[in-house]
Amino acid sequence: MSSGPSIPFTMLFKETVCCSLSLDKSCIFLPSSNCSENKPRISGKLRLSLGQAITVRGISVQVRGIAKLPYDEGIFFQSYHEENTFVTTQPLASSHQQNPFTLPPGDYEFPFSISLDSNLLETITSLGSSYRSYQVLATIKRKWNRNVIVSKPIRIYKRFSIEDSLNWLSALNAIDKQWDDVAQYNVSIPDVNIPFGATFPVKLRLAPLSKRIKLQALTIDVLEQHELRIKAPASYSAQFNVHFLSSKQEHVIFSERHNLDGCISPESEESDLEWCITKAISLPQDLEACTQDVSSNTITIKHHVAFTVELLGVGEGLSMIKGTIPFNIYMSPHVISEHGTVRGLHTDRFHDDYVPPPPLYSKHQNDRLLPMAEALLDSDTLRLDCEQPPENAFFYSPTLDCAPSYETVIQN
């Protein structure tokens, strides 16, 4: 991925044609609404430097989307299903009669701007796999010689919307359990929605319920799971009576083991002890090392935080507590620049005092206006639906009248 539009892709053709392609943006974020006035576009310039005259049949630039999905064929080697997902072309130079024409020696510059569909599929690349990708290709069609083609990759992502966030509201960002009479433990992350490339904490709280338990180590992994399902080719389906082909992979995109020497519970049964340990997870900031969560008919990608707590003193040898917390990685223009560089974001705060968001407008029920007199402010008539006790409600003015005049405030 280019670090900026000032670095063009250049190609020399028999030392007579120097061709370069530069893009104003190499990473495009699609609007979350189809009603957006600003339609996404790919723009840039194609530059030609000719040492001598050449005959061409036309010059054009094209945006092409490609899907390349692997699948397993039993004992056979892994195969790929490849197809174009999007193609749009803009002519840059041609004759009116579509006849070949001659370009004299010199320097040429062809600006272009191509409108994109707001419903394009997102770019998906991870660890050597390029499930969905996009390219900008500039083609110089020649009469007698082979065509000159230069290309540059681009990335297309969708903005993380409120609707996407609501889909994850029911997901828990913590695990709180008790292991028999051994320990009570809680493992949590600050949020289930984490931007790509972010660094965020994992907090372990463990209260031993038995004497002489030793907290040995904490291992944290981030797992990326891929599941692909495509329609089988007609010949393969007829031969093996298989209608769909699938592929599953799992990658570890982060892994750290932390030794926790010295964490030993006392012999006294009356001790109220709780270990609290916080460690950081740093997601890869390489767009080829991991990808976002995806849920479609053909591609499903999920992420989990997997933890392993090692304990000594429970029985003979080493005992372990294991678990996973699912979370969602999303792409954000606040993290990924228009030139494809990633700015690391730190999410440090735990929302211990988290207040649930208000319900959707269609979900509101029994909304009441605040009474206009102090006499009406009692627990029988005042109804709070925000799950707070009435004693936590505070009203500045008992009469809730209009704001005082400026002169009255000055006098007071």
Which tokens in the block code for residue 39? 């339609």
C-beta pairs of 350-358 under 8 Å, 24+ apart in sequence = 350/188, 350/190, 350/201, 350/203, 351/190, 351/191, 355/386, 356/387, 357/169
- CA–chain centroid gap for 203, Å, is 22
The predicted-structure confidence for 323-360, as pLDDT tens digits, reads as follows 999 999 999 999 999 999 999 888 876 644 334 445 55
pTM exceeding 0.85: no
Q: DSSP code of 272?
A: -
The predicted-structure confidence for 157-202, as pLDDT tens digits, reads as follows 998 876 666 666 567 899 999 998 889 999 999 999 999 999 999 9
Domains in the chain (CATH in brackets) are 17-158 (2.60.40.640), 162-263+271-346 (2.60.40.640)
Give 340's contacts (C-beta < 8 A, 6+ positions apart).
1, 2, 3, 26, 27, 155, 287
Dihedral sign from CA coordinates of 116, 119, 125, 126: positive
| DSSP alpha helix (H) spans, 230-295 | 234-240
- Render each residue's pLDDT in the chain as its tens digit; 412 residues: 444 444 344 554 454 789 999 999 999 999 876 555 678 999 999 999 998 999 999 999 999 999 998 876 654 556 788 899 999 999 999 887 778 999 999 999 999 999 999 899 999 998 888 999 999 999 999 888 889 999 999 999 998 876 666 666 567 899 999 998 889 999 999 999 999 999 999 999 999 888 888 899 999 999 999 999 988 878 778 888 888 888 889 999 999 999 987 666 665 555 568 899 999 999 999 999 999 999 999 999 999 999 999 998 887 888 999 999 999 999 999 999 999 999 988 887 664 433 444 555 554 454 444 444 334 444 343 333 333 433 433 333 333 444 455 454 455 4
CB 190 within 8 Å of CB 201: yes
